[in-house]
Chains A and B, each alone.
Chain A
Amino acid sequence: MITVEGLTKAYGGFKAVNDISFVAQPGRVTGFLGPNGAGKTTTMRVMVGLTPATHGRATIGGHLYHDIPNPGRHVGVLLDASAQHAGRTGREILTIGAKTMGLPETRVDEMLHLVSLSDTEAKRRLRNYSLGMKQRLGIAHALLGDPSVLILDEPANGLDPAGIRWMRTLLKGYADRGGTVFLSSHLLNEVELIADEMILIGMGTIVAQGDKKSLLAMDTNVSSLVMSLDNARLTEALQQKGHTVAAEGEGLRVNCAPEDVGRVALEAQVVLVDLRSGAAGLEDLFLELTSESQRDELPEGATA
């Protein structure tokens, strides 16, 4: 498991990461989500000892990364798939890793096979790799030492849809066998599908954490979206009950639960054709929580 306690990293007066604490549990995929420049990469760099923390600390299985002997055998790291010598072949990059960790050459073949890089592709130099191929090679490198903890920065970046699905299955299986998976992304959809646990970060601070259900429960504005055969009559009936109704698209948005709308419609004998919760989805929640650190302002009133 990964434990981060009161971690702060300051560059001069700028705090890239400001007093964050969280735990990534074994057997679970923990997603680390935030907009560009929120402090995700900095946090991961501190975890693997490439950047010293200003305050606080990050431990992996109770150890500082620096104190783990032959760390590749315990922690698989992928921070940047392009951060490899462009003149080396894919196979050579894995061979160097395997040799450093003291693994047999056969392990390289196993990993190439696992990430579906063919022999010809493995003989090509990294500068001729597409981003997706680099990403596969990076994942292979992280898995080389059969570690129990995986730390992956934007692993799905550059993968095609089939590749993303492949990675999802791979990491899920890895967590199911008891591994700790910690991965970052700026794409909510990517993380939502794979992560059991999510940590949302914006401007260097954690704005929310929990599983999907508990995150959604944070949204306290109850509302429903409804469409009927007679919207005018339904509006009237809802307003009589004291609900606020506003037109939205071809239907209506009401400030009460779908159940209440259903009852009103039943009484008023209006046929409903669509009724669902109008609560903000994870994406809205994510944008709202990190709004201060978003670079782009949303158009007013836009919802997902």
Chain B
Amino acid sequence: MSTTTAPIPIDVNATEHVPMSRLAAVEFRKALDTRAGRWFAASIVALVLVVLTIYALATAATEKNYEDFISIAGFVLGYFIPILIIMLVTSESSQRNGLVTFALEPRRSRIIIAKLLAGLLLAACVMVLAALMAVIATLFGSLTGGTPEWGVDGNLLFNGFVLANLIGVLVGFAIATLLMNTAAAIVVYFVYTFILPTAVGILSALSEGFEKVAPWIDFNTAQLPLFEGDYIPNGEEWAQLAVTGTIWLIIPLFLGIQRLLRIEFK
């Protein structure tokens, strides 16, 4: 073997890097091109529709305003959008296609950004659909005896709907990157959103001191002001959001991304 021959270079100057728009578009497609992904997304939308219909039939005529419907839709979405993100991220390792993804774009940070963009776009699409369904539900509500108000409090729309779901996307992303396993990530996500608040609730009921501390250490409790009252957290509540957000979101997200940048995809 002649190791003395001059290396024969490949000219890569004429080749452009894969643009972020293309990476994000591919990741968006990957979220919906499997049966699991497509059905899960469709189920979320269907579930929102079912919940809104039941609400329209069951509630008092005075509470059938557009605002009521959209906040319910936002609440339901908040639980399920993170799972879509979890599936999108963890499939790279659970389904092992990371081998191909990262061979086609070895700069992993770009795939991470693309996935986050795709996740946000996906969440935005689902939210728009939910907002439209809330319109239909409000019309339906007026048929069943309501006199709906169509006005929406901008704070509700931004904090209770957009911001809360944005947090959901990031939470899903953080858990997914930390665990890189679909089943484990979904389980942990449910513990995080259902069991943790219950535990906090029990502890708060048992101890008065804990009740005061809870919003400072539990992210779910700290998020409540986004959905309640005038939908504007006051100064202290923003601070609680920032503190718990750092503990439960920023730090896991940071560690998760570090992990995703380093792990060997097998």
- Chain A contact residues, CB within 8 Å of chain B: 1, 3, 21-23, 25-26, 45, 48-51, 59-63, 65-74, 77, 79-80, 82-88, 92, 96-97, 99-102, 125, 141, 148-149, 197, 209-210
Contacts and interface: CB of A to CB of B under 8 A. Distances in A.
B264 interface: yes
A50 B29 contact: no
Contacts, number: 123
Interface stretch (B10-18, B68-76, B155-163, B216-224): B10-18
A62 B106 contact: no
B10 A79 contact: no
Contacts of B106: 48-49, 65-66, 68, 71
B7 interface: yes
Nearest to A102: B22
B96 A96 contact: no
Interface in B173-215: none
B103 A69 contact: no
A125 B36 CA distance: 12
A50 B12 contact: no
A88 B1 contact: no
B183 to A, nearest CB: 15
14 contacts: A22-B3, A49-B103, A50-B264, A61-B8, A63-B10, A66-B106, A68-B10, A69-B17, A73-B15, A79-B99, A88-B33, A96-B26, A100-B23, A125-B35
B62 interface: no
A216 to B, nearest CB: 15
B105 A100 contact: yes
A83 B99 contact: yes
Given A23-B3, A61-B8, 13 more contacts: A1-B7, A49-B106, A61-B10, A62-B7, A63-B9, A68-B15, A74-B15, A80-B99, A83-B98, A84-B100, A86-B95, A87-B37, A101-B104
Given A21-B3, A77-B103, A83-B99, A88 B15 contact: no
A141 B8 contact: no
Interface string B24-49: 01100110011111000000000000
A87 B1 contact: no
Given A70-B18, A74-B15, A85-B97, A62 B103 contact: no
A43 B103 CA distance: 14
Given A61-B9, A84-B96, A100 B18 contact: yes
Nearest to A141: B100
B265 interface: yes
A149 B10 contact: yes
Q: Which of B33, B107, B265 has the most CB of A within 10 A?
A: B33
Nearest to A51: B264
B1 A1 contact: no
B91 interface: yes
B97 A100 contact: no
